[in-house]
Each structure stands twice: as C-alpha cells, then as structure tokens.
Chain A
Amino acid sequence: MKTSDVPQDLGMIGEYGREVCYAVDSEGKYTLSQSLGWEPKNIVNSQAWDTISEEIEKALELVQQKRVSPIAVYQAKHQMDLSLLAQYVGMAKWRVKRHLKPKIFNKLSDKILLRYCDVFGITLDELRNFLATNKSQQ
C-alpha cells in the first residue's frame, strides 16, 4: 500500500481520532500513516453491530412475552453468551440458565441480582422493574 492510497473513509472511529497503518512513501520507504478509516472495515464493523442489535431485539421481544427474564436483554447488550455471563457473575452455567426463566427470576434475592447489576452496570431497580419501565415507554 502506498501512502497516497491510505484510505480516509470516515466511519467507525468517528471523532475518536485516527489509527495508523503501514504504507510505502514515494521513495519506497515504509512510514506510519494516519488513517480515518476504510470503507470495507466500516462495512464489516457495522455488520457486527447489526448482529448485536438483532440479538438485543430478539431478547427484548422474548422478555416482553415473559418467556425469558430481563437478564437476557442485558446479556445481549453486553455481547455475552451463557458461558461468559456465568463467568462474570461467578456462578455455574446451569444457575444462570435458571435465572433466565421469568418465574425463577422474580423470586431471586437482591444479593444474587446485585451480581448481575454489578456486571451490567445497572441498578437493582432497573433490573427488577425492567418490564414495567420498558412497557411504559411504548
């Protein structure tokens, strides 16, 4: 890649600055050139985020249908699969799986829920009353 070909396609880095890449200058010497971004990268990056949004939507729907507990929405938001979430809350996978059932979720103690809140960076109230708050928004 030549320095003149270093792409400057604005996208995912936004106003966070520029990244550097390696390119050859007019004398054939390698230099570090700053780049604002590259369209193919923007495409695949937004593809990844689209997938995450889809997962969140799916989870939200299931929560509203009371088929899973609100934990699922935050799990999707934080791009966690069951195993990763279990590691973060420090519980066995089968327990987290149980907590994803609305009936069991409703009976959980503050102590257990706080573990989830800590990982997701939310308040107990936000988690417990997720359904009520998200219905009122509609």
Chain B
Amino acid sequence: MSSEISWQPISLSNKRNIMNTHIPFTHRQSAHCESGVTSNLLRHHNIQCSEALAFGIGEGLFFAYLPFIKLNKLPLTTYRCAVGNIIDKVNKRLGVDLERKKFRSPEKAMQALDEKLLEGIPVGCQTGAYWLPYFPPAFRFHFNMHNLVVIGKEGDEYLISDPVLEDTVRCKSADLARARFAKGALAPNGAMYSISSAPVNPDIKQAVKQSIVAVSKAMIKTPVFFLGTRGINFLANRVAKWPKNLGDKKASLYLGQLIRMQEEIGTGGGGFRFMYAAYLQEAAELLGIEELHSASNDMTLIGDTWRSFAVSGARICKGRPKKDDTYLHLSKILQQCAGDEKKLYQRILQIMQ
C-alpha cells in the first residue's frame, strides 16, 4: 500500500517559480548523452575534455547480455557501463567534485533545480526520454537513462542543452518534471547533478592510463559468462538458437531490439566501438604511445564488424534476407567480434604494462 501514499499527480501545481535566467553555456552536439553531458559540463568548468575522452576515462565501454532483464518484453543488451558510471568515474579520476541529488517530490526537485540555475550553475538531469516533447517522436520509448543539461529558465520554460541534439531546446516545466520523474526500470527519481568545484590542472594522462587498463580488464577478466567478451560469445550462442526456440516472428523482434541497442540509443555507431576507437586515438597522442594508434585502428575494424551485423540483421527484420543473412551467420559475426575484441584488449594490456 505504500505506493498509494507516494502517488502525486505528474502535472505540477500552480506554485511555479517564474524567473528568467540564461547561463552562458557552450552546447556541443555529441553522439551519446552521458558522455556528452560530462564533456560539456567539464568544458564549462574549463577542463578541456572531448566526448570521446569523457567516455574513455569514464570507462564507458562494456558489454552485457542480460536476457533475464526485459525491456518491452525483450532482453536487455548493453554495450556500455551502467548509467551514471561515466560521469562518476570521470569526476573521481580528475578530482572534480560532483554534487548529486535525488528527490521524492517533483515540486522539491524542480525548486532545487531553479535554485542552482539562479546561482548560475548548469545542472545535469537524468530523465525519461519518453516524456520529452522536443525529442523526435520516433525515439520516444520508455528509456530512463537520458541525460541533459539545464542551462536556464525563461518564464515557465527551461532552456536545455540536450547533447544528442544539434541545438539547445526549450521544454515546459511540467514536461521536464514528468521526464525527471519517469517510472519503471532505472527510474531517475529527479536525479540531478552539478559540478561544485573542479581542479585547475587535472592529471588527465594518469586518468587515461588507468581507464584503458580498467576497461580492458573488465572486458576480458570479468568472471561472469554474460559480461564482457564472454557475454558477446554467450549472445552469439543464443542468437544461433533464436529461430528454433522463439519462432521466426519473436526471433526477429529480439534481433531488432539488439540492433536498436547497438545503433540507435546514442552510441556513435557500432555499439560505442567507434567512440572508443576515437578515444584510443586521443589517448595515443596524449600519452605518446604509438601502439595505441594501431589499437585504435583495430577497434575501428571491430566497429565495422558490429555494423555488418546490424546490416545483415536488419535485412532479416525487414523480411528480405539475402542468401547469407541467417541467424547462424549473425552468430558467427558476433563470435568474430568477441574474438577480435578479446585479442585487442589483451594487446592493449600488454602495451599499457
């Protein structure tokens, strides 16, 4: 019965803060929301950190196939770490102080946001993309891990730097409140964060070194069969059995969901593999380690292999498979991804020794 008590209408009461404030904030479009928000917030505090760098230092790259967690009745696959980890890791590694808050009441959550804005501090918010009216309708799914930066308020409208969009947008306070209090898996509970202090000269090189090693280890040394490169192999085995176990229709739904997670949800292409390749390239220059350039090239090729999976799989989803487009073939592509990635992480660990 506790759920009864906690119910509040999503539409806010009339007690709204009407104010005008616009924080000068440079909006840069990014491929992925969390790494984009992290990068944009850091740049606002004078730390030059590209999206790829934020993604890498935040140990964004990962893989997990979690068939026991269902999203819209379909198994969850992720090509990145858990939500919120990127920004937390980056800040920890660079010595940035991040203030994080969650709320029970939308009223209080919006008030706290307004207070920060009045202080001139841009605020990151975790939201449910489904409720954001400015989002392209085709992307309006229940997806509670969407990050954005609120940079001002004019009357009843918030000014928002949503990193996956080309330009800043406006959003009515009632809609933003709804998005901040989206329900379901990974409900944001009004989560918001802002940088309270940032170091003048953070040790980016050290952070890069640590993160590259950490990502490689997480990918090949996690002793669980559904995580890391083992997870890719696990998925490969499952994919081969889908048509037999699920029937054609359901198998194609599973496949479609898989491709969506890989390509659509702001991954920068190839399930974040291209973004990570960009990171390795930046790391090679920062650290002056030539071998990381070739590691970056290899990662690009792996990204291309993931893309070929999407191309072939999508043809099956459309019901127009070519001769080679079979689940068995898809399974082989995944095995290749798993094998190539494993080799690459092993090599990276050797380089970084």
Contact = CB atoms under 8 A, between A and B. Distances in A.
Interface of A: 1, 11-14, 16-24, 28-30, 32, 34, 38-41, 43-45, 47-49, 51, 78-81, 83-84, 86-92, 115, 118-119
Interface centre among B9, B51, B130, B270 (most CB of A within 10 A): B9
A116 to B, nearest CB: 11
A24 to B, nearest CB: 6
Nearest to A11: B138
Contact of A47 (B9, B166, B282, B317): B317
B79 interface: no
Interface string B124-151: 0000001000001011011000000000
Contact of B274 (A1, A18, A91): A1
A90 B7 contact: yes
Contacts of B72: 48, 79, 81
Contacts of B183: 84, 87-88
Contacts of B252: 47
Given A23-B274, A91-B4, 19 more contacts: A1-B300, A1-B303, A16-B136, A21-B31, A23-B269, A30-B296, A40-B313, A41-B263, A43-B315, A43-B318, A48-B72, A48-B256, A49-B138, A79-B72, A80-B142, A84-B142, A88-B10, A92-B1, A92-B4
Nearest to B267: A21
Interface of B: 1, 3-4, 6-11, 29-31, 51-52, 72-73, 130, 136, 138-139, 141-142, 164-167, 183-184, 187, 252-253, 256-257, 259-260, 263-264, 266, 268-270, 274-275, 277-278, 281-282, 296-297, 300, 303-304, 307, 310-311, 313-315, 317-318
A2 B297 CA distance: 11
A44 B136 contact: no
B253 A51 contact: yes
26 contacts: A1-B304, A1-B307, A12-B139, A16-B136, A21-B268, A22-B274, A32-B30, A32-B51, A38-B263, A39-B314, A40-B310, A40-B314, A40-B315, A41-B264, A43-B256, A43-B317, A44-B260, A44-B314, A47-B252, A48-B72, A48-B256, A79-B142, A87-B184, A88-B183, A90-B6, A92-B3
